[in-house]
Amino acid sequence: MRGSDSALKVETKVSAVVRSEGTKPATPRRVLVIACGALAREIVSLQRGPLSHIDVTCLPAELHNRPQRIPGEMRRKIAENREKYDEILCLYGDCGTGGELDRVLAEEGIERIPGAHCYEFYAGSADFAALAEEEPGTFFLTDFLVRHFDRLVIEGLGLDRFPQLRDDYFGHYRRVVYLAQFDDEELTDKAKAAADRLGLAFERRFTGLGGLKQFLERHAPAEA
């Protein structure tokens, strides 16, 4: 991956305030989420609501190009914050680590969101499996991938320099399914243009942020 994107390095810190029964405030229970930078914008949108008391730090999304580094970077980030928080959560899929990320998280006692990748926890496991079974030749997009399609897909695969490689990469695909997190007409137009550029049929499924929100709400510090 080339270039930089400040959205990939978002490290939002919001203090948690938790009140116990009675009039005196209890000691705040602090929860940190360590997330993939590709989820930064979506998590920040949740922080503006009822999850504002959860702190978030993101690893660079570009680690997806070097998944062997994800487990080590996750362990480092956990160690940096272990003493500061009562609970640490992981917002990553396996993301190409071959189970190594889960091994590190098990050793560290950290829970991660269920799912092999963000497509699954956006769409939901059952719906994602149904989409994949319905058409195995499906190329999935999220809001993040649509926003950065040229850099991550076109330039990342060298199609800007060697467009003839398109069929080598996408010859076995039949459609693009855009899993949309926000109802954004401009992003939908860009996703359709991406599908056209790849020569594939286009379909849009609105997922919202349900999977992320449900996972975080289960671990949010309760307020009395």
pTM of the complete model beyond 0.75: yes
Domain limits of the chain? 6-118+210-219, 125-206
For residue 130, report the phi and psi dihedrals to the nearest 5 degrees: -65, -40
pLDDT 10s digits, 13-54? 333 323 334 444 456 678 999 999 999 899 888 887 667 778
Q: Is the distance from CB of 150 to CB of 2 less than 8 angstroms?
A: no
What's at 124, amino acid-wise? G
Beta bridge partners of 87: 31
Q: Is the distance from CB of 191 to CB of 178 less than 8 angstroms?
A: yes
Please report the beta strands in the chain, taking only residues with DSSP state E, as ranges in sequence order.
Answer: 31-36, 55-59, 87-91, 111-112, 138-141, 175-180, 201-206
How sure is the predictor about 194, in pLDDT bands with cuts at 50, 70 and 90? Answer: very high
What's at 133, amino acid-wise? E
Is residue 80 over pLDDT 70? yes
Cα distances from 184 to residues 108, 144, 177, 189, 204, in angstroms, run 38, 12, 15, 9, 11
CATH topology of domain 6-118+210-219: Rossmann fold (3.40.50)
**Rounded Cα gap, residues 169 and 109, in angstroms:** 39
Q: Is the distance from CB of 198 to CB of 223 less than 8 angstroms?
A: no
Res 20: pLDDT? 31
